[in-house]
Chains A and B, each alone.
Chain A
Amino acid sequence: MAGKALRGFFERLGNQVTSGVWQLGFAARFFGYMLLHSGTALRRFSLTIREIYFSGVLSLIIILVSGLFVGMVLGLQGYHTLERYGSSEALGVLVALSLVRELGPVVAGLLFASRAGSAITAEIGLMKATEQISAMEMMAVDPIARVVAPRFWGGVISMPLLAALFSAMGIFGGYLVGVKLIGVDEGAFWSQMQAAVDVREDILNGVLKSFVFGVAVSLIAVFEGYDAAPTAEGVSRATTRTVVTSSLAILALDFVLTALMFTGGTAT
């Protein structure tokens, strides 16, 4: 009896591991196939432009408003902490470094995943559920080249631009609260910021981060949509999975990238 229960336990464990590995392999092959068949998306660039509109332009409002408020909160909180140590002029450094290095890419990525990633998954999943994907295959149109790849590239192109806009807006928000509202010296705010922020070390690494997040979120979104069970329930589950998985992926990748980028040798 105990042997049977033990056997059942190991069978379930083995089943979970093999299906997990199978899923990962499917995702990797899907990614490779999509990259190989991206020619259409890049040659007929209007397809990709359409997707940049849906995932980038329509995310602008939420990104700009959140960036402004995050910067304003950073300005307020940072000022009260820095003032205690008599270095409130360093507010510009605090706002700029935390936005450019971490908050810009990460928060913009999380917003992008919930605003655009979920929409991409729902759209592709619904196309699959209503058999539009199969219909395309019947007409000898490759759905990965025609539907999936433009959405992927649209997301990859949009994400770094959105993160840069988020950071710029946040720094503007920090400037509004710090300089205009509280009255930190304007010259010190900008000059200390300019002295501390390095173009290659901080800004370029931040852009690189947001690019990596863009690839991760877009890949997860299109894959979950393509992999969704073709039912109403399957699409809703896939949409949830997209948001959860891409948020976790962003936070985990952020840790790895930060460890690689900002701890090596020359970082101040």
Chain B
Amino acid sequence: MNRSTIDLWVGIFVAAGLVALVFLALKVGNLASFSAAQTYDVTGDFTNIGGLKVRAPVKSAGVVVGRVTKISFDTVSRATPWPRS
């Protein structure tokens, strides 16, 4: 087969593959919602977080304004759940 025909088809193939990746990232994974807008850190203190997970959406008035970045156990104020014998 002609060299330039092969080049053309490989070009089409690679472009289609990249389009599929972009489709997966934007339309399926919704990468566009992770905008680079200015955010700030908010720290919350809970007695029980229930089923909260890292990267869960943080909503204000129902609109996603951020993501949970880190969950950790507070060793200072809740170190002893029950008295030791």
Contact = CB atoms under 8 A, between A and B. Distances in A.
Contact of B10 (A53, A160, A197, A265): A53
Nearest to B11: A49
A60 interface: yes
B21 to A, nearest CB: 5
B31 A165 contact: no
A53 B9 CA distance: 7
Interface stretch (A21-29, A81-89, A199-207, A246-254): A199-207
A57 B9 contact: yes
Contact of B17 (A96, A162, A171, A266): A162
Given A199-B30, A266-B55, A268-B53, 7 more contacts: A49-B10, A53-B1, A57-B13, A164-B17, A165-B16, A195-B57, A203-B29
Contact of A168 (B1, B14, B23): B23
Interface of A: 46, 49-50, 52-53, 56-57, 60, 96, 100, 158, 160-162, 164-165, 167-169, 171, 190, 193-195, 197-199, 202-203, 207, 265-266, 268
B58 interface: no
Contacts of A56: 10, 13
A164 B24 contact: yes
A191 B16 CA distance: 24
B65 interface: no
Contacts of B30: 194-195, 197, 199
A266 B27 contact: no
A171 B1 CA distance: 34
B41 interface: no
Nearest to A56: B13
Given A161-B17, A162-B17, A165-B17, A197 B23 contact: no
Interface of B: 1, 3, 6-7, 9-10, 12-14, 16-18, 20-21, 23-25, 27-31, 33-34, 53-55, 57
A54 to B, nearest CB: 9
The 9 closest A-B pairs by CB, nearest first: A161-B17, A194-B30, A168-B20, A199-B29, A164-B20, A53-B6, A165-B20, A57-B13, A57-B9
A266 B53 contact: yes
A168 to B, nearest CB: 4
Given A167-B20, A266-B55, A52 B25 contact: no
Nearest to A206: B24
B8 to A, nearest CB: 10
Contact of B31 (A190, A199, A268): A199
A164 B21 contact: yes
A193 B7 contact: no
A168 B24 contact: yes
A57 B24 CA distance: 20
A100 B24 contact: yes
A265 B57 CA distance: 17
A158 B17 CA distance: 9
Contacts of A202: 29
